[in-house]
Amino acid sequence: MFIDIACSQKKKYNQNAYGDYFASNRFPNMNRIVAVLSDGLGSGIKANILACMTSTMLLKFMENHSDIEKSCEIIMNSLPVCKVRGISYSTFSAIDCFDDGNAKIVEEGNPDFIWIRGGEVLKPEYQSIQSKDFKNRKMKVYNIKLEKYDRVIFCSDGATQVAMGSKRYPLGLERSGLIKIILEKLEQEPEISSKNLSEYLVKQIELIAPNRELKDDTSILSIYCRDPRESLIFTGPPFHGEKDNYYAKTFMEFKGKKAISGGTTANIISRELNIPVIAKLSMNSGKLPGLSEMEGVDLVTEGILTLTKTLEYLENGNAEENAAKTLMDFLLDSDVINFLVGAQMNKAHYDPNLPIEIEIRKNIIKQMAKVLEEKYLKKVNVQFV
Amino acid sequence: MAKVEVKVCLGTTCFVMGGSNLQELNEIIPQKYGDKVELNAANCLGLCSINWEYSKAPYVKVNEAVVSEATVEKVLEEIDKQLGN
Ligand code: FES
Domain holding A100: CATH number? Answer: 3.60.40.10
| Beta carbons of B10 and A264 less than 8 Å apart | no
Q: Whose CA is nearest to atom 4 of ligand 1?
A: B44
- Looking at the fold, whether A207 and A237 belong to one and the same domain comes out as no
Q: Is the pLDDT of residue B73 over 90?
A: yes
Q: Do B10 and A263 touch (CB under 8 A)?
A: yes
Are residues A222 and A254 part of one domain? no
Asked if A263's CB is within 8 angstroms of B11's CB, the reply is yes
- Whether residue A221 is predicted with pLDDT greater than 80 in this model: the reply is yes
Q: Residue A220 and residue B72: Cα distance in Å, rounded?
A: 50
> Chain A closest CA to B47's CA: distance in Å?
9
Of residues A357 and A214, more confidence is placed in A214
Asked if residue A357 and residue A249 are part of one domain, the reply reads yes
The alpha helices in chain A, defined as continuous H runs, are: 44-63, 68-78, 157-160, 174-188, 194-208, 244-253, 263-273, 304-316, 323-332, 361-374
Domain count, chain A: 2
Residue A254 is predicted with a pLDDT of 95
Residues 15..34 of A with a Cβ closer than 8 Å to B: which? Answer: none
Which residues make beta-bridge pairs with A67? Answer: none
What is the number of CB-based contacts under 8 A between chain A and chain B?
80
Task: Name the residue facing A267 among B15, B16, B43 (closest C-beta).
Answer: B43
A contact test, residue of B43, B47, B60, B75 with most A CBs within 10 A: B43
Interface contact B40, partner A, CB < 8 A: yes
Residue B58 CA, closest ligand 1 atom number: 2
Let me know whether A63 and A132 are in one domain: yes
Which of the listed residues A184, A210, A226 is the one where a domain comes to its end?
Answer: A226
A132 near A209, Cβ under 8 Å?
no
Q: Which domain holds residue A62?
A: 2-226
Are A286 and A195 in the same domain?
A: no
Q: How far apart are CA B49 and CA A348, in angstroms?
A: 5
Letter for the amino acid at B70? A
Q: What is the pLDDT of residue A356?
A: 44
Closest CA to A38 of A177, A205, A158: A158
- Give how many domains chain B has, as a whole number: 1
| A305 lies within 8 A of chain B by CB | yes
The alpha carbon of residue A282 is apart from the nearest alpha carbon of chain B, in Å, by 7
Asked if pLDDT for residue A385 goes beyond 50, the answer is: yes
In this structure, are A335 and A220 located in the same domain? no
Whether pLDDT at B54 is above 70? no
Q: What is the ipTM of this complex?
A: 0.78
Whole-number pLDDT of residue A211: 87
DSSP A95-148: EEEETTSEEEEEEEBSPPPEEEETTEEE----EEEE-SS-TT-EEEEEEEE--T
Which residues in B lie closer than 8 A to residue A236 (C-beta atoms)?
none
Q: Are residues A107 and A135 in the same domain?
A: yes
How far is residue B39 from each of residues A166, A295, B14, B33, measured CA to CA in Å?
58, 21, 17, 11
Residue ranges making up the domain that contains B30: 4-83
- pLDDT (0 to 100) of residue A286: 65
* Residue B32 pLDDT greater than 50, yes or no: yes
Are residues A217 and A258 both part of a single domain? no
Q: In the predicted model, what is the mean pLDDT of residues A224-240?
A: 91
Overall average pLDDT of the A133-142 stretch: 81
Check whether residue A208 and residue A246 sit in a common domain. no
Q: For residue B23, what is the domain's CATH number?
A: 3.40.30.10
Percentage of residues in chain A with pLDDT exceeding 70?
93
Gap from B22 CA to chain A (nearest CA, Å):
9
CA distance to partner chain A, nearest, from residue B57 (Å): 10
Residue A354 has what pLDDT?
45
pLDDT of residue A88: 64
| Mean pLDDT, range A97-115, rounded to an integer | 92
Question: For residue A361, which of A334, A332, A339 has the smallest C-alpha distance?
Answer: A339
pLDDT at A378 > cutoff 80: yes
Domain boundary among A226, A244, A275: A226
Last residue of some domain: A226, A246, A264?
Answer: A226
Mean pLDDT for chain A overall: 88
In this prediction the pTM is 0.67
Q: Do B16 and A280 touch (CB under 8 A)?
A: no
